[in-house]
Amino acid sequence: MTLATLSEVLQPALKGGYAVPGLVCLGWEDMRAFAMAAQAERAPVILQAGPSCREHTPLPILGAMFRHLAAQVDVPVVAHLDHGYTMDECEAALEAGFTSLMFDGSRKPLDENIRQTRAVADLAHGAGISAEGEIGFVGYSGGEDSAGTDPEEAALFARETQVDALAISVGNVHLQQDHEGGLNEARIRAIEAATDVPLVIHGGSGVPHAQRLALAHGSSICKFNIGTELRMAFGAALRAAVNADAERFDRVQILKDTHDPVMEAARAAIRSTGASGKV
């Protein structure tokens, strides 16, 4: 069993000058490909269950799947709750065997975000696992606008919540389908100067690969969440598998054809964070 907490993979990354990929899972086929990619790259990996994943599959099932995959490889695997919005969700993830809880209070007033995130961090630490919080709302491509992270508020948030990782808003957005964006490096430097907590970028798919790798090597960003580029790879592979044979109807056979393309996309994502060969 190579199950790890978030802190157990991010602290070595902070010291070693790389970042760990938080790969956004939607089902068995992609999470298995992600675990196999991490094994092939000799890299730690964070398997993430976000809201849409949890809507599709119950937390106890996801926890068992993540833990099963961790037992099949010999690289560190974190079972991570992504964007938990309530204490009930976080408690359920803990009971389901997750090793990391991310509470998202970024839409809330600062004092309320601190209070609720601290409660989740206390819950996690009491159980020997890790907690991630978010300060500064990260928006969505074509949707809600972001609210950038204030460095002084980030320092206060980190100090008061005692989180193991701090998600920040520095030009990143969720669901971006290209790499034409880019992060505000001046704001990143101001935040990392104010706190020593490992930093997290949600919406990592929109970050150009060169900037992703440079920041992994040369900043306190220790975790990039990567989802959209991997979902696009899965969708393209599934479409090709379905269209390849109009007579084929067995879903198991069709879904098998997604494994190799998704695994290769995940390997590329892992390499872009500098995590390859760190195990």
**Contact between 215 and 183 (Cβ < 8 Å):** yes
> At residue 133, what are phi and psi to the nearest 5 degrees?
-125, 170
3-class secondary-structure state, position 20: strand
Query: What number of other Cβ atoms are within 10 A of residue 112's Cβ?
Result: 11
Task: Give the closest residue to 256 by CA, choosing from 227, 230, 234.
Answer: 234
From 30, 74, 82, 196, active-site residue: 82
Element containing residue 49 per DSSP (H, E): strand 45-49
Ramachandran region, residue 201 (left: φ > 0; alpha: ψ -120 to 50; beta: rest):
beta
Helix axes 28-41, 228-244, angle to 10 degrees: 110
3-class secondary-structure state, position 110: helix
What is the total residue count of the chain?
Answer: 279
3-class secondary-structure state, position 235: helix
Active site residue 82: yes
Residues annotated as catalytic (active site), given as ranges: 82
